[in-house]
Structure 1
Amino acid sequence: TKPVLYVANVDEDVVGDPDSIEYVKKIREFAATENAEVVVISARAEEEISELDDEDKQEFLEALGLTESGVDKLTRAAYHLLGLGTYFTAGEKEVRAWTFKRGMKAPQVAGIIHSDFEKGFIRAVTMSYEDLVKYGSEKAVKEAGRLREEGKEYIVQDGDIMEFRFNV
């Protein structure tokens, strides 16, 4: 009754092409009977990746035929399996990621930061991460008409960037 995630540890030589590995195929077949997910990683490669700077990390991943690290794949799969998402708060001093259960409404996710935010929730000024990347700044997102004010019934989406308005 609980969600299951299988993690297959393979040699770094073949981590870029896991479908060519016979036992990974067997694990996928078995996992399918349980409606479970499978993530293929190379612990040896992950150890090496952890010691690299960002530029070298990307080069190493490309050499292995990968677009992201196994840790990133594992995290993404676990979040999906558990029904979790991430929203962000951003200010001049700090940008922070917060984990929430998918389906939560804006006041509930505000309460993750502090219970007063939930109690006195008025609205959430919101933009998507994709819009911020596309337009380049909060000001440009606003000028494009993509900055939104969401109320108490808004269901928070993975990747939302939120500023909460509240009064206690």
Structure 2
Amino acid sequence: GEGLGNQFLATIREVDAVAHVVRCFEDSDITHVEGKIAPLADIETIETELMLADLDSLEKRVDNLAKKAKGNDKDAKEQLDLVNRALVLLRDGKPARLLERKPEEERAFDMLGLLTSKPVLYVCNVEEGSAKDGNNFSKQVFERAKQEGAVAVVISAKIESEIATLSREERKDFLDTLGLEEAGLDRLIRAGYQLLDLITYFTAGPKEARAWTIHRGTKAPGAAGVIHTDFEKGFIRAETIAYADYVSLGGEAGARDGGKLRLEGKEYVVADGDVMHFRFNN
């Protein structure tokens, strides 16, 4: 349904990846555009369309970049080199993500905004009975993902559309009857975080708790900067509680009394699930 589709799109935008949602179920009541169920062929079709879009995008930039490069524009020269190398790959039927590049070229490459440069997440839409373990179609997709260094996840759009209409309590009961521990959209988000090596830390106060997304390996000042740049610039320290301690000890007060609240400095690497309170200079 439209609502489920919007949730998919919002999730993919959040993790900044390209998701290939492919049909991995048979149903005589639902026709397939090609007349058969072939998820790998569907993936090839989608990938080809994305590569053609990138080709068109880059070819339109070449002349302008070439003119600037002739005028000794250093940035234009670097971009033109990247564009020409990417065009070679794309014209050979290969996605831009396979382009070999130096670390110092990464920022310029990202600025090209190519669809086939993004990490890939394969979403296997399966029938209700295969929502837990997948089926033979989804296994084909998972094998392809493994070969490419991509990530795949199984989800049943039918189940998700039903879950969307239920309350939190009803949702848990419904999932239990299907033998599922969590909703497919939760698995989808987790797969996206795995693909992009993202983690979450929390801030909690008397009025609300918030979750913040950062890359794994981010130090405390950088994590604070996600909330506001002033927090990073004036960072002093971070009062930190591990998630397990926060839950088991009943929150900040219990963790403090139990000696589990730590003061971390600028070199502290934030752990997944940390509950943090930042001290900073204005």
Shorter chain as normaliser: what TM range?
A: over 0.9
Q: How many angstroms apart in 2 are the aligned matches of 1:153 and 1:104?
A: 9
- Highest RCO, 1 vs 2 (Cα 8 Å, sep ≥ 6): 1
Aligned position for 2:152: 38
* Pairwise CA RMSD: 1.2
Greater share of residues in strand: 1
AA aligned opposite 2:123? V
User: TM-score, normalised on structure 2?
Assistant: 0.57
Is 1:31–1:37's contact at 8 Å kept on the other side of the alignment?
Answer: yes
AA aligned opposite 1:78? G
Aligned position for 1:166: 280
Structure 2 segments unaligned to the other structure (5+ residues): 1-96, 98-117
Instruction: Name whichever of 1-10 and 157-166 sits farther off.
Output: 1-10
Is 1:17–1:65's contact at 8 Å kept on the other side of the alignment?
Answer: no
Report deviation, 1:115.
1.2
Aligned position for 1:6: 122
Say whether 1:113 aligns with 2:227. Answer: yes
Is 2:241–2:276's contact at 8 Å kept on the other side of the alignment?
Answer: yes
Aligned position for 2:133: 17
Secondary structure in 2 aligned to 1:73? helix
The residue correspondences of 1:1-168 to structure 2 (distance < 5 A) are 1=97, 2-18=118-134, 21-168=135-282
Identity %: 56
Report deviation, 1:14.
2.2
AA aligned opposite 2:157? A
Q: How many angstroms apart in 1 are the aligned matches of 2:210 and 2:234?
A: 21
User: TM-score, normalised on structure 1?
Assistant: 0.94
Q: How many angstroms apart in 2 are the aligned matches of 1:22 and 1:108?
A: 43
Report deviation, 1:97.
0.9
Is 1:6–1:37's contact at 8 Å kept on the other side of the alignment?
Answer: yes
AA aligned opposite 2:121? L
Q: Deviations over 1:67-92 (max 9, x none)?
A: 00000000011011111111111111
Q: How many angstroms apart in 2 are the aligned matches of 1:137 and 1:152?
A: 24
Report deviation, 1:131.
0.9
AA aligned opposite 1:81? L
Q: How many angstroms apart in 2 are the aligned matches of 1:121 and 1:131?
A: 24
Structure 1 segments unaligned to the other structure (5+ residues): none
Segments of 4+ moved more than 3 angstroms: none
Secondary structure in 2 aligned to 1:58? helix
Report deviation, 1:137.
2.3
AA aligned opposite 1:141? A
Instruction: Name whichever of 94-103 and 119-128 sits farther off.
Output: 94-103
Q: How many angstroms apart in 1 are the aligned matches of 2:229 and 2:165?
A: 39
Is 2:221–2:231's contact at 8 Å kept on the other side of the alignment?
Answer: yes
Q: How many angstroms apart in 1 are the aligned matches of 2:136 and 2:216?
A: 35
